[in-house]
Amino acid sequence: MSRVAAHAPKALLLLLVTCLTGAAIAAPKAIDYVVRGDGVVSAVIGGQPARLRISPWAPAAPTLNPDFAQRIGLHGGLFGFAVKVGPVKVAGQSSVTRLEVSKASFRRRVVWFDRPWSTGADAAVGPGGLPVDIVRFDLRAPQPGERTIAVPLDQGPFRPSYGRVAIGKRSLIVLFDPQHRQTLATAGAGAALAEGLGGQFYGGADRAEVAFGIQRPVRAMRLARPLSVGPLAIEQLFVRTGDNGSVAGIPDADADPEEIVVTARGGNRRDVLIVGRDQLERCSSIVFDKKAKLIRLSCR
């Protein structure tokens, strides 16, 4: 089974709203910002040229690589913080600096960690961190037969922009990442999908990069009934078997009846699904309309 990559652990979804205080800014007049290709654009951060990746799954707080934060002379505040990627704790710091992107100049509270966050860029930011009302990601040319369907948009001060889907009595956070090759769920989200839509593991164990170069165990899951996310119908995905929930109740098509399987236990968590390129290749665009609080997907 091929390796997969993911970049949005539960802790980054929380992104320490209780620890960080945003700088008060006056946002420029709203414009429609269009992102194409890999989303990497030229910017100025802290007075220095930078390569900034604008990504649907990135936090609203611009997230710098540690070498770039050091290069522009940022110093963290009195209180640091940490996020967890599975069992690995990653220390972080924050400060306030100025960003110049396209024709907009604005101040933001930025964060950085003791491991790099973005590859191929100095920093990353999500739609929530740009001072515009609408951010459109152009993925490819529109195709015949496309439908445009909206899902509600949630946006906190520092977290990524995300939607939600209901599975029975449970609600899954849904992130979108066209740079991410495969769709991936946390263990808790996988358990909800297995119970609500007849999910079943198949094949052997694999490992996926979750964030900061840290890899965690995953398994492939097939759904008896597809999961609808806007116009998308998801029939298979990967599940993080040891993080953010328990996979103890998920049936396994390839299990040895004599084998005893030790699985993750439950606990406080957010059940998260990251929709990757395997699904988003059907879509021509993703639009984040912050004023209307909607995510619009145009897909066939």
Question: pTM for the whole thing?
Answer: 0.82
**Do strands 184-185 and 272-275 pair parallel, antiparallel, or not at all (unpaired)?**
antiparallel
DSSP letters of 253-285?
TT--TT---------S---EEEE-HHHHTTEEE
Q: Which of 49-53, 74-78, 226-230, 257-261 has the lowest mean pLDDT?
A: 257-261
Tokens 């098509």 appear where?
Answer: 253
Local structure of 226: helix, strand or coil: strand
Give the pLDDT confidence of 234-279 residue by residue, as tens digits: 999 999 998 877 776 687 765 433 333 333 344 445 799 999 999 9
pLDDT digits (tens, 9 = 90+) for 172-213: 999 999 888 899 999 999 999 999 999 999 999 999 888 888
The alpha helices in the chain, defined as continuous H runs, are 10-14, 66-71, 187-197, 277-280
The band of 83, judged by pLDDT with boundaries at 50, 70 and 90, is confident
Answer whether 3's CB lies under 8 Å from 184's CB.
Answer: no
Q: Compare 269 and 18 and report the one with higher pLDDT.
A: 269
Q: For residue range 117-129, what is the model confidence (pLDDT) as tens digits? A: 999 999 999 999 9
Residue spans of the domains in the chain: they are: 29-133, 147-299
Lowest mean pLDDT of 8-22, 147-161, 186-200, name the range: 8-22
H or E segment and range at residue 276: none
Q: What's the pLDDT at 6?
A: 43
- Higher model confidence: residue 185 or residue 29? 185
- Does residue 291 carry a pLDDT above 60? yes
Average pLDDT for the chain: 84
pLDDT at 172 (0 to 100)? 94
- Report the distance separating Cα 4 and Cα 207, nearest Å: 7
pLDDT at 209: 82
Instruction: Give 2's DSSP letter.
Output: -
- Cβ-contact 289, 153 below 8 angstroms: yes
Tell me what pLDDT residue 253 has. Answer: 62
Q: CA 105, CA 97: separation in Å to the nearest integer?
A: 11
Whether residue 218 has pLDDT greater than 60: yes
pLDDT at 26 over 70: no
What would the DSSP string read from start to end of 108-126?
A: EEEEEESS---SSSSEEE-
Mean pLDDT of 74-96: 89
Instruction: Decide the pairing of beta strands 4-5 and 123-125.
Output: unpaired
As a whole number, mean pLDDT of residues 160-171 equals: 92
Average pLDDT over every residue of 95-118: 94
199-211: strand order across its sheet:
4-5, 199-211, 214-229, 232-240, 184-185, 272-275, 170-176, 163-167
- CATH 2.40.70 for the 147-299 domain, yes or no: yes
The tokens of 279 are what?
A: 């699904």
What average pLDDT score do residues 90-96 get?
Answer: 95
List the CATH code of the domain at 29-133: 2.40.70.10
Percent of the chain topping pLDDT 90: 66
